[in-house]
Structure formats: structure tokens, C-alpha cells
Amino acid sequence: MQALLYLVGSLLSAVLVASGSQYASTCNLSPLGAGQDDTDQVMAAIEQCGDGGLTVFEEGEYNITRKMTWNLTSSRVELHGYLSFQPDYEYWLQNSSTYRVVYIQSQASWFIVTGSDFEIDAYNTGGINGNGQPWWDYFTTVPRLDGDGRPLALTVYQATRGTISNFLIEAPPFWCNCVAESSDIVYDGMLCNATNTNPEFYGQNIVPNTDGIDTYRVDNLVLRNFDITTGDDCIAVKGNTTNMLASNITCRGGNGIAYGSLGQYVDLPDYVENVTMTDLHVLRINPEIQPNMGSGVYFKSWDGTVNGSPPDNGGGGLGYVKNVVIRDAFLDNVTTPIALYQTNGAQSGDAPSKYQFANLTLLSFTGTYQKNPLVDIACSPAAPCPDLTFENINVTLLSGGTPAYECENVLSQTGLPVTCNSTVSSS
């Protein structure tokens, strides 16, 4: 509800910003052209007009060769063109070439937007070109680790009352978006496209970790009108995401829409509360381009034992996900429509997770799936799940069989066959 109220507020302020006259200054840019470096002129424009001003980028490609922070205060940016981050991954992978502001998994950023009361509108003609293909090719032979320095394409960090609209992100090397330590942020119109075009790798997923957006330590967040082509999570709701509304989200390929992973940090509880999603479309695409289409929606936590330490390993973290509503999901040929597991990073003999999932409501799921069970819920014996509600879960098994439902350690559910909450084991 708070998210909905905020949305109305943001539309009003967008109208005010559109009236124009209040800008202290206006900066206009056009690309310098082939072989030139645009970073200086971009930084100069934002320094001059980012506080109270309007910055207008003409269409075209702006060559960005080093890390960049935009601090926008009462400011509007019209980004008709692409910020094209130079494809020299050896340069970007040096520690000093990126920022490390995203605490979770120590992820790297090459472009940070911070500040307050701003709008960036990219008019569906601009945004970011991540030039990811050489990165994806390179990381087919090098291990992909969290925190290894692959930069996420757009980081919104310590921002309040900001809107990002009609924004295209082509070929992100790593996560397409992350919003962290922020509040009252609206994304309205976001395209992320991690599509391998190298025939050598057709039929393989060479774009792991190209998540559409990860949310972390953020309150009052609206995600609307997303179109995400990925080899990983379409949306990943991570720790301390509260009062979030996502609507009209299209996910093409990858793992599906995730709540998690949560509980990675033993000393840092992850609280996720009031996260509503509506009008979801989760679609399998040409397997030559992207072979995976895992889940519609899934929930995941680490297990109860600490194995190694973040960014790559962890576990034992506490917290909860509660008051989740997911409504109107269309799934096309996903492997498993709805899943929950609490065994991320698990090794044999580990303690069960104490991370709590509660009060999850899933309504009106349609479409098709590949493999039973339709609902695969495995809550931890150390934190059985109360208050799971299902209604109109009508997804068709493509092979023609009868849907199956599995519920382990579910304290109470409604809407699935009653046998589905009958396997509570003792902890």
C-alpha cells in the first residue's frame, strides 16, 4: 500500500518536473564520435547540471572509459542515447577501476546513481550498453565468483525519491541492476537484455549472474514494466527489502523470479516484508539462446551452518520473508512453477536453516510447465512455514500428467490438496 501511495506521489512530481521552468541550468550533450572518450564531457555536464538542473543527452553512443558516480539532486536527466562502457574487461577487473558499495557479496559497480528527487528518463532509445559479449566469452574459461569484480551495469545507491524510466540496458556483463540502501525509488520501464550472440556457445547458458535487478536494504520500491532476458534471476529480492511492488514484469529465460538468496551472513539478519508482485510473465525462449527457464517464482535461503564466508560462501543467517502476495502469473514452459528451498550452500551433516518464510500468498497462476511437482515447497524443519495460501494455481503439465504438489515442513496451507502439509518432520 505504501508503495502504491508513493507511486501516485511520484507521478505528481514527474508532472511538476516536466513543467520545466524550475531548472537552474540546462546541459546538452552529443556524442563526440568514433574513437573519442565521452567520460569527461558526461561528468562535466552532471557536475554542472546535476544539482537543480536538466541534462539532455542526444541519441547515440557515449564512450565511457572509467567509473562514474552521478549525484543528482532535484534534477532531471534525459538520456536519449547509450552510455557505452568500453569492453576492456582486463581494465575493469582491476580493483581500482570499480566501486564496491554494494555490501552483499561485495559486488562491483562501474556506474552509481545517488542523490534525491531526480528522474532519469531514457525514452526507450537510450540507457546503458554493457558490451557484455567479450565478458561472457572470457568467463566461459574463468570461474565466475561473487565479488570477483565483474561490474553490475546500473547501481542506484543511497538514493531517495528517484525515478528511472524507459531505460534500456543491453548486454550487461553481470547483474543488470541493483538498488541498495535507498528508499522511495520507482523504476518504470526497464529492459535488460543478456543475449549471447556468439554461435560457439549456442545452446549453453554463458550469461549466469545477469540478474535483472537485485534489491537490498531498500524501502518503498516500485518496479513496473520490466522486460528481462537473462541467464539468472529475473528479480532477486534480497535482505531488508520492504514495501515493494512489482507489476507487469516479463522474464525471458534464466532461473525465474527469486526471493533470495537470504541468510548468507550469519551476523546480519535479512528481513523481507510486504513484497507484492502482479502481472508476471515468465517465458522460455529459444534454447539455442538460453537453455534455462527454471521457476516461475521461487524462494531460497542458505542452510543453518556457516560454510566459508561471503562473498561466495556463507549460511547460518537469520531473518524472515513475510507478507508476500504474488498474483496473476503466466508461465510458459517453465521447469517448476513454484518452489521454496532452504539448502543453499548445504553440505551433508549441516544444521537446518532457521530462516523463516511465512504468510506467502500466491494467486492465479496459469500457463505450462515441464516437470512435477507443480508446487515444490521444502521449508526447513527448524523453521516450518505457516500461512501459505494458494488460489487458482492452474498450470498445465506439458507431458499431460496430473499435477503433483510437495510440501515439506509446512505448518498450514490452504488451496492445495490437504496432503500437501502432512509431512512436518521434527526438528
In the residue annotation, 232 being an active-site residue is answered as yes
Look at the alpha carbons of 293, 312, 212, 208 in this order and tell me if their dihedral is positive or negative: negative
Binders of ligand NAG among residues 102 to 141 (CB under 6 A) are 106, 114-115
Among 268, 351, 363, 382, binds ligand NAG (CB under 6 A): 268
Q: In this chain, which of 13, 25, 26, 37 binds ligand NAG, going by CB under 6 A?
A: 37
Q: Does 220 bind ligand NAG (CB under 6 A)?
A: no
Q: Which is nearer to ligand NAG, 20 or 203 (CB)?
A: 203
**Which residues 6+ apart lie within 8 Å of 41 measured at CB?**
29, 32
User: Contact between 384 and ligand NAG (CB under 6 A)?
Assistant: no
Amino acid 76 reads R
Nearer Cβ to ligand NAG, position 69 or 305? 69
Q: Which member of 98, 105, 177, 250 binds ligand NAG (CB under 6 A)?
A: 250
From the list 7-15, 19-27, 198-206, 412-420, the region that binds ligand NAG by CB under 6 A is 412-420
Say whether 1 sits in a helix, a strand or coil: coil
Three-state SS string over 361-416 comes to EEEEEEEEECCCCCEEEECCCCCCECCEEEEEEEEEECCCCCCCEEEECECCEECC
Rounded to a whole number of angstroms, the minimum distance from the CB of residue 246 to ligand NAG is 12
Retrieve residue 60's grid coordinates: 547515440
Q: Assess contact for 394 and 374: CB atoms under 8 A.
A: no
Shortest distance in whole angstroms from residue 277 CB to ligand NAG: 12
| 160, 225, 278, 305: residue in contact with ligand NAG (rule CB under 6 A) | 225
In angstroms, rounded to a whole number, what is the distance separating the alpha carbons of residues 311 and 174? 15
Contact stretch for ligand NAG (CB under 6 A) within 14-22, 30-38, 75-83, 373-381? 30-38
Active-site annotation holder among 38, 232, 233, 270:
232
| CA–CA dist 320, 240 (Å, integer) | 9
* Number of amino acids touching ligand NAG (CB under 6 A): 54
Q: What does the per-residue mask of binding to ligand NAG show for 181-200, with x meaning CB under 6 A?
A: ------------x-x-x---
403 binds ligand NAG (CB under 6 A): no
Closest distance between ligand NAG and the C-beta of residue 325, in Å?
5
- Residue of 240, 342, 356, 409 that binds ligand NAG (CB under 6 A): 240
Looking only at residues 274 through 313 of this chain, which bind ligand NAG when binding is defined by CB under 6 A?
Answer: 274, 284, 287
21 burial level (CB within 10 Å; 0-12, 13-18, 19+): exposed
DSSP lists the bridge partners of residue 357 as 321
Say whether 30 sits in a helix, a strand or coil: coil
Task: Please state, in angstroms and rounded to a whole number, the distance separating the CA atoms of residues 262 and 96.
Answer: 29
Q: Residue 151 has which C-alpha cell?
A: 561490474
The string over 302-322, giving b where at least 16 C-beta atoms fall within 10 Å of a residue's C-beta and e elsewhere, is: bbbbbeeebbbebbbbbbbbb
Short-list 232, 230, 241, 237, CA closest to 190 = 230
218 or 339: CB nearest ligand NAG: 218
- Bridge partners, residue 198, by sequence: none
Applying CB under 6 A, which of residues 270, 303, 376, 408 lies at the interface with ligand NAG? 270
CB of 311 to ligand NAG, least distance (A): 8
Sites of contact with ligand NAG (CB under 6 A) = 1, 34-37, 51, 63, 65, 71, 73, 86, 95, 100, 106, 114-115, 147, 193, 195, 197, 217, 225-227, 229, 239-240, 242-243, 248, 250, 268-271, 273-274, 284, 287, 323, 325, 333, 359, 366, 387, 394, 396, 398, 412-414, 418, 421-422
Residues marked active site are found at 232
